[in-house]
């Protein structure tokens, strides 16, 4: 059994112990049970403090994992692999647009304006996103990514 699969079992065991200890203390307070010895009462108090700390650490870890999973599922955080796919898609989209502009010049058509090239690149990116393993790439986002990549390329020293 992996560590992650054991965690719910451990948490359940700890919560069960706390429930039983709390029940025993409640019975003692209401007078429906015999009082435990002072040593047993101290042991229960210590166990509650220790287990409370352990449970809070586990719950904190689980909360962090939940946030990480939600960020990934909602697209708030892009992992390195996804970013590499997106970069490759945008580079290929720009290359496609440049090739279309080159073909237009070869056919003696008017040269494509930069805005037309960006439209071609964004269209390519949106159409081909699925084949690159990218879900739901909006045209506006594709335009911004193409523009950012072009500006980044222009800013590089020769």
pLDDT on residue 4: 53
Is residue 82 a contact partner of residue 134, using CB atoms and an 8 Å limit?
Answer: yes
pLDDT on residue 3: 52
Is residue 97 a contact partner of residue 118, using CB atoms and an 8 Å limit?
Answer: yes
DSSP 8-state code for residue 78: -
Looking at the fold, whether 11 and 58 belong to one and the same domain comes out as: yes
- Name which residue leads in pLDDT, 145 or 31: 145
Cα of first residue to Cα of last residue in the chain, in angstroms, is: 56
Query: What is the rounded average pLDDT of the residues 107-118?
Result: 80
Looking at the fold, whether 62 and 43 belong to one and the same domain comes out as: yes
Looking at the fold, whether 64 and 25 belong to one and the same domain comes out as: yes
| pLDDT averaged over every residue in the chain | 76
Looking at the fold, whether 95 and 148 belong to one and the same domain comes out as: yes
24-48 per-position pLDDT tens digit: 777 767 776 666 678 877 877 777 7
The answer to the question of residue 126 being in a domain is yes
Pairwise CA distance, residues 33 & 41, whole Å: 13
The answer to the question of residue 21 being in a domain is yes
46-95 per-position pLDDT tens digit: 777 777 777 777 777 777 787 777 767 766 556 678 788 888 988 999 88
Band of residue 148 on the pLDDT scale cut at 50, 70, 90:
confident
The answer to the question of residue 40 being in a domain is yes
Band of residue 1 on the pLDDT scale cut at 50, 70, 90:
very low
Query: What is the rounded average pLDDT of the residues 14-24?
Result: 74
Looking at the fold, whether 139 and 103 belong to one and the same domain comes out as: yes
The answer to the question of residue 158 being in a domain is no
Looking at the fold, whether 62 and 94 belong to one and the same domain comes out as: no
């Amino acid at each position: 059994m992996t560590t992650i699969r054991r965690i719910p079992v451990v948490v359940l065991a700890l919560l069960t112990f706390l429930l039983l200890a709390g029940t025993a203390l409640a019975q003692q307070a209401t007078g429906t049970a015999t009082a435990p010895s002072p040593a047993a009462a101290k042991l229960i108090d210590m166990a509650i403090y220790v287990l409370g700390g352990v449970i809070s650490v586990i719950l904190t870890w689980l909360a962090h994992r939940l946030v990480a999973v939600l960020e990934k599922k909602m697209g708030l955080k892009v992992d390195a692999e996804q970013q590499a796919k997106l970069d490759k898609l945008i580079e290929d989209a720009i290359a496609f647009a440049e090739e279309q502009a080159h073909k237009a010049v070869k056919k003696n058509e008017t040269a494509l304006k930069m805005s037309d090239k960006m439209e071609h690149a964004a269209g390519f990116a949106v159409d081909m996103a699925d084949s690159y393993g990218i879900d739901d790439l909006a045209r506006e986002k594709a335009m911004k990514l193409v523009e950012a990549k072009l500006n980044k390329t222009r800013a590089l020293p020769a």
